[in-house]
Amino acid sequence: MASLSVRRAFIVLHLALGLGILVGTLQTLLHVTREHGGPDLHLGFLVALEGIGAVLFLIPQTLRVGAIALLLVLLGGFAVHVSRGELEVQLPIYAAGVWFVMVHGAAWRARPLAPDVAA
């Protein structure tokens, strides 16, 4: 990260994205539980994968694994919704943010990467 302000902004993006997806996952779980009397096996698996992915995404050492899990769920969910005629535009937006953070890595490491190493 070139400057301290860019690094701070990146940290805010990473945290907001990870925590926002985690909260959204919990809201989805509560909604499905109320509406359908509990998640079925398929939805339960997806909610678990997304929740675990969001937690792993927030931890610098497991960021890539969490990001891959999130990308699978978000892009897969977008494809399923589109096939049903539902345009859930937030899903590819979240996926783009997750991909961006995954490519650049966590900004709150003890020692940030040198510019030539980060490239």
* pLDDT per residue as tens, the chain (119 positions): 458 888 889 999 999 999 999 999 999 888 878 887 766 777 888 889 999 999 999 999 999 999 999 999 999 999 999 999 999 999 999 999 999 999 998 887 655 555 555 44
Cβ neighbours for 10, distance < 8 A, ≥ 6 positions apart: 1, 101, 104, 107
Bin 85: left if φ > 0, else alpha if -120 < ψ < 50, else beta: left
In degrees rounded to 5, what are phi and psi of residue 112?
-65, 150
Q: Is residue 119, in this structure, part of any structural domain at all?
A: no
- Containing structural domain, residue 98: 4-108
Query: How many distinct helices (H) and strands (E) make up the chain?
Result: 5, 0
CB 1 within 8 A of CB 7: yes
What pLDDT is attached to residue 65?
A: 97
CB 87 within 8 A of CB 72: no
What pLDDT is attached to residue 43?
A: 81
What pLDDT is attached to residue 115?
A: 55
Q: Is residue 17, in this structure, part of any structural domain at all?
A: yes
Q: Is residue 116, in this structure, part of any structural domain at all?
A: no
What pLDDT is attached to residue 29?
A: 84
Q: Is residue 69, in this structure, part of any structural domain at all?
A: yes
Q: Is residue 114, in this structure, part of any structural domain at all?
A: no
Q: Is residue 72, in this structure, part of any structural domain at all?
A: yes
What pLDDT is attached to residue 1?
A: 44
The structural domain count of the chain equals 1
Q: Is residue 97, in this structure, part of any structural domain at all?
A: yes
Q: Is residue 104, in this structure, part of any structural domain at all?
A: yes
What pLDDT is attached to residue 111?
A: 54
Cα–Cα distance, 89 to 82 (Å, whole number): 10
Cα–Cα distance, 91 to 106 (Å, whole number): 21
Say which residue the tokens 């783009």 belong to: 96
